[in-house]
Amino acid sequence: MNQKERKILPIIDSGGESMVNGDFWHEIHSRFKLQESKKSIARTLGISVQTVRKILRQEKPVPYQRREKTPTIIVPYEDYIRQRLAAVGYCAQSIFEELQERGYTGSYDQVKRYVRPLREEAKAEATSRFETPPGKQGQVDWGQCWTVIGGKRSKAHLFVMTLGYSRKFFSKGTNNEKLSTFINCHREAFDHFGGLPHEVVYDNAKSVVVSRDFEGRHIQWNPTFWDFSQYYGFRPWAHRPYRAQTKGKVESGIKYVKRFLRGKTFDSLEHLNDTLMRWVTAVADQRIHGTTHRKPVEMFEEERDILIDHRLKPPYVIQDRVIRHVSKDCMVTFETNRYSVHFRFVGKQVEVQSEPEQVRIYHQGQLIAVHPRCRGNYQLQLERAHYEGIFSRRKLPEKIIPSQTSPDEVEVRDLGFYERLVEGGAV
């Protein structure tokens, strides 16, 4: 997408000049390499143009450096405070009262400011970082973001799978979070990595977990998802509720993807995913990760051969199945789109089965129609053979391109509509 085609949505200012970390530096440089203007980058990220220029002049991320502390009235009491903090539960008020007995004449606010970072440090030590060896674990989650697709403001559902060791990730935008979509996204992630980790961490969504106790001793897995995990040979692991740190790597990845998509517009969902995967390969995989201080693509080489090889297994296919009735115009509605069947099935009950690329329609177990799956909404898929014999006039044209229609137009139509279509009249 060139600069003339780029459209930027209004972004609320996030508060100005915050500390620039490595990911932020890479984000600004990658946007500039994609020929986004400095003003556009500043507006999208909620910073000033001067900050963008300053960062673009830096050949590599510059770590933030604190100013040297000036001595304060609390300095003589630092050793005593550190010795007593754990005993009083990191309570600044208790420390303040004890210091007053020892001659401290400063304010409570000074004590509180000194104690706060020590309290946070203790919390961080109590929750050890969840690191895993190469190839052992992946983390999966959904995220959502609003963007412009095909000229309309749309919600994109973002699937993200992150490998726990290297932080290399796969992401895809979808229209929904159905189980069939969820499983198909897994398959694409496995293909992207060339294998799969030995265990995968999930939240407690119904597509994965039907029910569980708080401690996770008794988990009832979604039977279809459990069958999928056993087919490919990985162990699913549902993380404990309200303990987000066990799934923090994938949640950081979702935030990273959302930040990339923010302010961009796309012609279609396919355009979004093409753009997203180019960015993942060219930017996300090549950046110096803020935690590991290495490139994900380099660390991935250390776990590539440890992943489970799935390439000899036929793809695990899951289908959406719904029951529909054929309308008087020989059409079957599925997910707002309409697909034709032979006119002899008008009024009959049929079963619609969907795959990522196809829609199959069955009547009493017999396959009666196969169509390419519509990518958008309110579209038609017509097959000329389904209408032959209805009209006494000339036959339908060899190829009928599905038309984009409005929601109000997706109703059962009079057969005269299709007669006008045959005659080349207005639709």
Please provide the DSSP assignment of 96-146 as one string.
Answer: HHHHHHTT--S-HHHHHHHHHHHHHHHHHHHS------TTTEEEEEEEEEE
Residues 105 and 147 in one domain: no
Q: For residues 275 and 166, state if they share a domain.
A: yes
Query: Can you give the CATH number for the domain in which 202 is found?
Result: 3.30.420.10
Nearest-angstrom CA–CA distance, 301 and 42 = 35
Q: How many domains does the chain have?
A: 3
pLDDT for res 241:
59
Residue 87 to residues 116, 122, 209, Cα–Cα distance (Å): 16, 13, 41
Q: Distance between terminal CA atoms of the chain?
A: 33
In-domain check, residue 295: yes
Say yes or no to pLDDT of 217 above 80: no
- Kindly report, residue by residue over 372-420, the tens digit of the pLDDT: 988 778 889 999 889 887 765 445 545 444 434 433 334 445 555 555 5
- Could you tell me if 149 and 270 are in contact, meaning their C-beta atoms sit under 8 angstroms apart? no
pLDDT in tens, 338-371: 999 999 999 999 989 887 788 999 988 889 999 9
In a domain, residue 64? The reply is no
pLDDT of residue 75: 87
User: How many angstroms separate the CA atoms of 368 and 362, rounded?
Assistant: 5
Residue where a domain terminates, one of 56, 91, 126: 126
CA angle 133, 134, 139 (to 5 degrees): 85
Same domain membership, residue 270 and residue 341 = no
> Of 276, 306, 336, which residue sits at a domain end?
306
User: 102 and 227: one domain?
Assistant: no
If asked whether residues 174 and 253 sit together in one domain, one would say: yes
For residues 117 and 81, state if they share a domain: yes
Q: Decide if 384 is inside a domain.
A: yes
Render pLDDT for 266-324 as a digit per residue (tens, 0 to 9).
Answer: 999 999 999 999 999 999 999 888 888 889 999 999 999 999 999 888 888 776 678 89
Residue 98's contacts (CB-CB under 8 Å, 6 or more residues apart) are 80, 84, 88
Over residues 398-409, the pLDDT tens digits come to: 544 443 443 333
Q: Say what the pLDDT of residue 326 is.
A: 94
The predicted model scores a pTM of 0.54
Do 192 and 145 lie in one domain? The reply is yes
pLDDT band of residue 223 (cuts 50, 70, 90) is confident
93: containing domain: 75-126
State how far the alpha carbon of 309 is from the alpha carbons of 191, 195, 232, 305, in Å: 10, 5, 9, 9
Query: Are residue 115 and residue 194 in the same domain, yes or no?
Result: no
Same domain as 354, residue 212: no
342 and 211 share one domain: no
Residues 203 and 281 in one domain: yes
